[in-house]
Amino acid sequence: MANYLLYRISSKVNAKPRVAGFSKMACLDNLLDAFPGYRMICIADNCDAETVALLERKGFFKLEVTRLGQAASFYHLARMAMETLHDEDIVYFIEDDYLHVPDSGKILEEGIQVFDYVTLYDHPDKYGVFGKGRNPYVDDGKLSEVTQLYKGAFALWRTTNSTTHTFACRVKTLKEDRWVWLGKLKLRPRLQDFYDWIFLTRPGFHGGRLKAKLLLRQTMARLAGLAGFRKRTLGVPVPSASAHLEAGYLPDGFDLERFRGKGLA
């Protein structure tokens, strides 16, 4: 059994507002420090020559330069994992704009022993205080989504209904859920992480904001369950062990100052 970082980086910068000091290469160095012993498989998608040269010096387990785009590069990486890695291997799909706390590798491995999938990012949209942008499965008020807790040696864990396309699992789980990770992606030009997770975790509304398109997708997810596809658990540590560096979406209490010079420029 081996552990892999399935990393995607691009030189393209989207319009999302970033935190001060954001640097993709600084985030990469932080990632490698937080996951010692992990094998890095890097997809450098639409990267300029300078970025590729920097990546080549890192001595990754595998580096592939592509021009696929966001959705197609994720699909390519997922298919590669299913076709070349062992069932018990742990894979962590990770994008180029995250910071991680020390010992994130140990935290992740603890979670994988309990949950089907693990995210290290406690997305603030799972709490009522987040306001209008909160997850539609979260009720009005100050409380979080409905959740279950697990107390581990490295972290206090809870279940969550969704996350981004930065997540971890075993390869065998990825294969069993290929109908989501591969089948659905072929049919659309952009990633829709929230809907992927709804198909897998199948949360109940519990007073959240029911919308027609969510009702349709939830019905489809229930039909998938009747067809034999398993409902999955997705675990996240509290407090968050990582942060997506989009301004306005930082986990509660995540101290960015500790990363100055170590993950932030």
> What is the residue whose two structure tokens read 């170590």?
262
List alpha helices for 57-189, DSSP H.
Answer: 70-84, 104-112, 171-176, 178
185 lies in a domain? yes
CATH of the domain at 102: 3.90.550
**CA distances, 243 to each of 4, 74, 139, 179 (Å):** 20, 20, 24, 28
pLDDT of residue 16 exceeding 80: no
For residue 230, the model assigns a pLDDT of 85
Identify the weakest region by mean pLDDT among 2-6, 77-81, 150-154, 224-228: 224-228
Does some domain include residue 264?
Answer: no
Q: What is the DSSP letter of 151?
A: E
Instruction: Please tell me the predicted confidence (pLDDT) of residue 102.
Output: 95
The pLDDT tens digits for 21-45 are 889 999 999 999 999 999 999 999 9
Report which of residues 130 and 256 the model is more confident about.
256
Is residue 106 in some structural domain?
A: yes
Asked if residue 226 is part of any domain, the answer here is yes
The angle subtended at Cα 263 by Cα 12 and Cα 63, nearest 5°, is: 50
- Tens digits of residue pLDDT in 107-122: 999 999 999 999 999 9
Q: What does the angle CA 187 – CA 167 – CA 125 come to, to the nearest 5 degrees?
A: 90
3-class DSSP state for residue 56? Answer: helix
Query: What pLDDT score was predicted for residue 206?
Result: 59
Q: Is 117 part of any domain?
A: yes
Name which residue leads in pLDDT, 229 or 78.
Answer: 78
pLDDT tier at 145, thresholds 50, 70, 90:
confident
Number of independent structural domains in the chain = 1
| d(C-alpha 145, C-alpha 203), whole Å | 10
**164 within 8 A of 196, measured Cβ to Cβ:** no
b/e sequence 163-201, b meaning 16+ C-beta within 10 Å: bbbbbbbbbebbbbbeebbeeebeeeeebeebbbbbbbb
Name the percent of the chain lying above pLDDT 90. 61
User: Which residue range forms the structural domain that includes residue 245?
Assistant: 3-259
Looking at the chain, how many residues does it have?
A: 265
